[in-house]
Amino acid sequence: MKGFILYFIIRMFTGSPIMALISVVIIYGLADKFYFGFLPDFTKSFRRNSRIKKNLKALELNPQNAQAALSLGLSYVEKKKYEEAIKYLKHHKLQDNETPNYLYNLGISLMEIGESTEGKEYIIRALDLNPSVGYGLSYIYLLDSEMKSKSSDLDKMNDLEEKIERFSNTQNLYKMGMIYKKLGNKHKAKRLFSKAIKEYSYCPKGIRRIHRKWAILSRIRKIT
């Protein structure tokens, strides 16, 4: 509603509906960039797409180029194109790669397409090498899988929750809340959303924009 009012005010002053529409888009884009953080960073997307094109060409020229395959896999994880990511992360030249970041990204990609058993193995291997890999998101994937398991272990779930709490931030708390909400535990979900909002209130001003999106989503989910 406010967007329409802003549009008509600008149109009244400029006399041009196209100029008014462009102005509203720019204003909302700037507001999102500096305050909300919901819209994608188009400059980042452009750089990532350029990197993908460069690495696709490099891999075409040299199919044994492991670095290009790895970069492509990680880029597709960023784009949430997990099947494409797996295709490159499982490149035969990367089979001996035991770095935590590689194992983590391959693991979450597999879990995102429903290959939970194999995905969990990679994530656990990544965590064995570096318990901080994924900054808590690794444990969220494992918790989600454990809760959906027919033979879920309450002690294991509690242990994973404790580990997630060590990386307590608005994003992790929101995502953990969503796991419980989807499984019908609304009471615990609301408690986690409340905790996410409280955690956001402690954020230094310099990094609030990074976490604001998750705080806003937590407020919305808390009342729906």
pLDDT one-digit tens code per residue, 157-168? 889 988 888 887
Residue 96 has pLDDT above 50, yes or no: yes
Q: What is the share, in percent, of the chain residues with pLDDT greater than 90? A: 49
Encoding tokens for residue 102?
């590689």
Higher per-residue confidence, 80 vs 33: 80
Confidence of residue 143 (pLDDT cuts 50, 70, 90): very high
Residue 136 has pLDDT above 50, yes or no: yes
Confidence of residue 149 (pLDDT cuts 50, 70, 90): confident
Q: What is the pLDDT of residue 32?
A: 47
Mean pLDDT for the stretch of residues 75-90: 96
Residue 60 has pLDDT above 70, yes or no: yes
Q: What is the pLDDT of residue 29?
A: 53
Helix (H, G, I), strand (E, B) or coil at 37: coil
Q: What is the share, in percent, of the chain residues with pLDDT greater than 70? A: 79
- Are 28 and 2 in contact by the 8 Å Cβ rule? The answer is no
- Are 186 and 160 in contact by the 8 Å Cβ rule? The answer is no
Encoding tokens for residue 178?
């969503």
Minimal CA–CA distance to 72: which of 95, 89, 50? 89
- Are 136 and 167 in contact by the 8 Å Cβ rule? The answer is yes
Residue 41 has pLDDT above 60, yes or no: no
Encoding tokens for residue 214?
């998750």
Mean pLDDT for the stretch of residues 12-33: 58
Mean pLDDT for the stretch of residues 104-126: 96
Question: Using CA atoms, how far apart are residues 107 and 84, in angstroms rounded to an integer?
Answer: 14
Encoding tokens for residue 53?
């094109």
**Mean pLDDT for the chain overall:** 84
